[in-house]
């Protein structure tokens, strides 16, 4: 296979990591929303935790994106 | 390779290019004043200018500007108090500086034709490495070698220790990487996407209004992301500080 083509395919494959990030972020916000609708008074107190969970879930996917960027531009 | 370098001034990656505005060399190290440095100076000048102007009057009943400054102070002070406790207020200036700097850099980058300093991983990594070094130094200064107990969680059976301790160690050492990559990737991906969709406006001709509307809406989302990423960076700094100051695990 042409090395350049392999490079692009590899970069595309590395972006698969973002699937997990998408599922994770959706899970966190969905569960926060359903919890917040059941008990709206407790919701503001958990907002910081929501953002921390969002950040942690996002980070794992972004590692894959970073690998893709390193493959493309590194 | 279809990167910004080949497409010249119109590629989506062109906005991240660093240009030397004034060349300096100190002891063989390239210390040129670049467009990145220019925006950092601009951002710091804006923050200092705004805070100096806003707190100039120091009236008991705050003016509009003063209440904005007080709100931003209270916002970060509450964050430190909630996450670290009163012992953490000693490190409030550090956290507040980090937050305002990152927020100013992210927001300045949203102005068309400006430069986003935080879209370069070396900048965000320097910030994250600073947080890592400061937190580790505080931890060792407050607890001595007892700080190493952070890697040995309580209530874990002894036979699990060979597994848990390396995991804790790796998750501690990976903090500066995850902290910097999160900020960098968010800013870079967002700005690239904006430019890619802005390119569609011309190439789609009469249907160009659709990507134009999308770009406008997405710019609004980017403002939220710019604030959110500055906030998350600061919250995580507070949580790391909490580990170092209070050592609850």
C-alpha distance from B25 to closest chain A C-alpha (Å): 26
Hey, are the CB atoms on B182 and A66 less than 8 Å from each other? Answer: no
The per-residue pLDDT for B10 is 65
> What pLDDT is recorded for position A32?
94
DSSP letters, A49-61, are HHHHHHHHHHHHH
Q: Is B34 helix (H, G, I), strand (E, B) or coil?
A: strand
B chain contacts of residue A58, beta-carbon cutoff 8 Å: 182, 186
- Does B182 contact A58 at a Cβ distance shorter than 8 Å? yes
Q: Residue A2 is encoded by which pair of tokens?
A: 């042409």
CA B47/CA B100 separation, integer angstroms: 7
**Which two tokens mark B197?**
């969709």
Dihedral, B62, B66, B68, B74 alpha carbons, nearest 10? -80
CATH of residue A8's domain is: 1.20.20.10
User: Looking at beta carbons, which residues of chain A come within 8 Å of B82?
Assistant: 48
Calculate the CA B24 to chain-centre distance: 27
**Residue numbers in A near B83 (CB within 8 A):** 48
ipTM value? 0.75
Helices marked H in A1-74:
3-14, 17-38, 47-73
What's the DSSP call for residue A39?
-
For residue B125, list chain A residues with Cβ-Cβ distance below 8 A: none
CA angle B218, B189, B176 (to 5 degrees): 125
pLDDT in tens, A36-62: 999 999 888 888 888 888 888 888 888
Per-residue confidence in pLDDT tens, chain B, 249 aa: 344 444 455 677 777 888 887 777 778 777 788 888 899 999 999 999 999 988 887 777 788 888 888 999 999 999 999 888 888 889 999 999 999 999 999 999 998 888 889 998 899 999 999 999 999 999 999 888 888 888 888 888 888 888 889 998 998 998 999 899 999 988 888 888 888 888 888 888 888 888 899 889 999 989 998 999 999 999 999 999 998 888 765
Owning domain of residue A19:
3-73
For chain B, the domains span: 61-246
- Are residues B187 and B109 in contact, defined by beta-carbon separation less than 8 angstroms? yes
Query: Hey, are the CB atoms on A55 and B232 less than 8 Å from each other?
Result: yes
CB B245 within 8 A of CB B142: yes
Please tell me the total number of residues recorded for chain B in this structure.
Answer: 249
Distance CA B28, CA A25 (A): 46
- B20 φ/ψ angles, rounded to the nearest 5 degrees: -80, 125
Cβ of A65 within 8 Å of Cβ of B189? The answer is: yes
- How far is Cα B132 from Cα B149, in angstroms, rounded to an integer? 17
Give me the number of domains chain A comprises. Answer: 1
Flag if A72 and B236 touch (Cβ within 8 Å).
Answer: no
């Amino acid at each position: 296979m042409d090395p350049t083509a392999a490079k692009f395919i590899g970069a595309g494959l590395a972006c698969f990591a973002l699937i997990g990030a998408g599922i994770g972020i959706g899970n966190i916000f969905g569960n926060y929303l359903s919890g917040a609708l059941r008990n709206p008074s407790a919701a503001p107190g958990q907002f910081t935790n929501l953002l921390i969970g969002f950040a942690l879930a996002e980070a794992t996917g972004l590692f894959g994106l970073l690998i893709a960027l390193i493959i493309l531009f590194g | 390779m279809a990167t910004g370098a080949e497409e010249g001034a119109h590629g989506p990656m062109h906005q991240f290019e660093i240009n030397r505005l004034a060349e300096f060399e100190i002891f063989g190290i390239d210390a040129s004043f670049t467009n990145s440095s220019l925006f950092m100076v601009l951002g710091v000048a804006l923050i200092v200018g705004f805070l100096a102007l806003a707190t100039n009057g120091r009236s008991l009943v705050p003016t509009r500007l003063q209440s904005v400054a007080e709100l931003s102070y209270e916002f970060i002070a509450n964050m430190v108090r909630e996450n670290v406790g009163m012992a953490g207020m000693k490190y409030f200036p550090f956290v507040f500086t980090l937050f305002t700097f990152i927020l100013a850099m992210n927001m300045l980058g949203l102005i068309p034709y400006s430069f986003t300093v935080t879209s370069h991983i070396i900048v965000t990594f320097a910030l994250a490495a600073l947080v890592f070094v400061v937190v580790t130094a505080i931890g060792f200064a407050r607890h001595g070698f007892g700080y190493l107990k952070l890697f040995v969680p309580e209530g874990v059976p002894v036979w699990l220790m060979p597994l848990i301790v390396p995991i804790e160690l790796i998750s501690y050492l990976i903090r500066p990487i995850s902290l910097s990559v999160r900020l960098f990737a968010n800013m870079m991906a967002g700005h690239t996407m904006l430019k890619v969709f802005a390119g569609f406006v011309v190439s789609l001709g009469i249907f160009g209004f659709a990507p134009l509307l999308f770009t406008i809406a997405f710019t609004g989302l980017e403002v939220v992301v710019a604030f959110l990423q500055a906030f998350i960076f600061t919250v995580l700094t507070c949580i790391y500080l909490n580990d170092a100051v209070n050592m609850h695990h």
